[in-house]
């Protein structure tokens, strides 16, 4: 899948207004803060969303760019607030110095992408950090006269677009916080935990159905949240999408893999990864493939014959529902 940068001023203006409008249903309050950093700050009213866990500030700088700043956590009124990341769009044409852009696929679907230009005044924070460490959805994009690899933040017309953006902002916050630590510190951690910045793919991965792939991170995070609320000990790492620990035996009891691309080769590839992971650890963990509800009957019998359990998800607007997740809880209780 190759995207193409949107360059027409009229279309950029339309999509920039739609971008801002997407957050309005989530906003809880406006908070007056000083935005920026010492020596270069100004008064601003940022929009805070408890559900998204981020604040947002937008300005249209006529004939220059559409500026959108984001931060994580609720700001204190009157305080100096640092920007976690910006998703800016050029006023018109193509401007590769601007981090964000709108892009279309061959079917006319519109996506918000980021070129990886992140800052913040901290040593080690920049495009190189992003390109080597950001895990999410990646795609090639025709960017004027060049072909570049970009991160796909979300599908603009999706009812889950604001959630996709919030996920991106939180990942950037974690990337910046980790800057300066060694790769070993980033990967090796003694306490089993679930980390948002390890969801998704590094840029070497192939992505075909971008619209479905933009939901994958949200599905994994939602599944992890449900399992944690059920008092499961969940974790992930660079090789495993999601797993559950048997706390009594201190080993992995469940492996999960999530498929949003319903093509048979993708489903079978995910099943193969699960079998490989299962064979590599002791304790005979349960391998679980999470698939869209409408394809369950196509694969369940075949997968269960090779000892892979199947559970489903469905998307209802902003909600992600796992209708048969309860059977996994029973499996561990037994």
Phi and psi, residue 131, nearest 5°: -65, -30
Cβ(242)–Cβ(220) below 8 Å: yes
Q: Which of 78, 79, 59 is nearest to 70 (CA)?
A: 59
Residue 67 makes CB contacts below 8 A (sequence gap 6+) with 58, 59, 60, 61, 86, 88
Ranges under pLDDT 70 in the chain: 1, 37-39, 119-126, 179-192, 204-208, 329-334
Q: What is the pLDDT, as a whole number, of residue 123?
A: 59
* Gap between the Cα atoms of 88 and 20, Å rounded: 11
Cα angle for residues 282, 283, 284 (degrees, 5° grid): 100
pLDDT value for 184: 36
From CA 202, how far away is CA 198, in angstroms rounded? 10
Question: Residue 8 and residue 5: Cα distance in Å, rounded?
Answer: 9
In angstroms, the CA 165 to CA 151 distance is 12
Q: Distance between CA 87 and CA 78 in Å, rounded?
A: 24
- Residue 266: Cβ within 10 Å count: 16
Sequence ranges of the domains in the chain = 2-183, 196-333
Give the pLDDT score at 332. Answer: 54
pLDDT score at 182? 42
Tokens at residue 39, please? 């020596």
pLDDT one-digit tens code per residue, 241-300? 999 988 777 788 999 999 998 888 888 999 999 999 888 888 888 999 999 998 888 888
pTM of this prediction?
0.84
């Amino acid at each position: 899948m190759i995207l193409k940068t949107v360059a027409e001023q009229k279309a950029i203006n339309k999509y920039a207004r739609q971008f801002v409008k997407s957050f309005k249903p989530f906003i809880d309050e406006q908070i007056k803060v000083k935005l920026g950093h010492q020596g270069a700050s100004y008064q601003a009213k940022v929009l805070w969303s408890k559900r998204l866990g981020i604040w947002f500030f937008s300005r249209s700088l006529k004939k220059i760019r559409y500026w959108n700043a984001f931060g994580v956590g609720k700001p204190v009124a009157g305080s100096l607030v640092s920007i976690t990341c910006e998703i800016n769009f050029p006023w018109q044409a193509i401007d590769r110095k601007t981090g964000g852009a709108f892009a279309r696929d061959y079917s006319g679907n519109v996506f918000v992408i980021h070129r990886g230009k992140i800052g913040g005044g901290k040593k080690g924070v920049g495009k190189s950090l992003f390109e080597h460490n950001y895990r999410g959805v990646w795609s090639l994009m025709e960017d004027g006269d060049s072909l570049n690899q970009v991160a796909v933040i979300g599908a603009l017309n999706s009812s889950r677009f604001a959630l996709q953006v919030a996920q991106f902002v939180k990942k950037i916050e974690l990337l910046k916080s980790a800057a300066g630590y060694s790769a070993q510190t980033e990967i090796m951690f003694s306490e089993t935990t679930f980390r948002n910045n390890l969801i998704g793919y590094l840029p070497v991965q192939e992505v075909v159905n971008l619209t479905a792939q933009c939901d994958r991170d949200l599905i994994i995070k939602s599944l992890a949240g449900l399992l944690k609320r059920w008092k499961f000990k969940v974790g992930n790492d660079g090789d495993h999408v999601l797993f559950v620990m048997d706390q009594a035996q201190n080993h992995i009891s469940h492996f999960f893999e999530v498929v949003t691309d319903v093509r048979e080769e993708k489903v079978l590839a995910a099943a193969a990864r699960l079998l490989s992971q299962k064979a590599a650890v002791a304790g005979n963990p349960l391998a679980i493939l999470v698939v869209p509800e409408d394809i369950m009957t196509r694969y369940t019998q075949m997968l269960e014959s090779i000892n892979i359990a199947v559970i489903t998800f469905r998307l209802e607007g902003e909600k992600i529902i796992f209708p048969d997740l309860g059977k996994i809880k029973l499996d561990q209780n037994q």
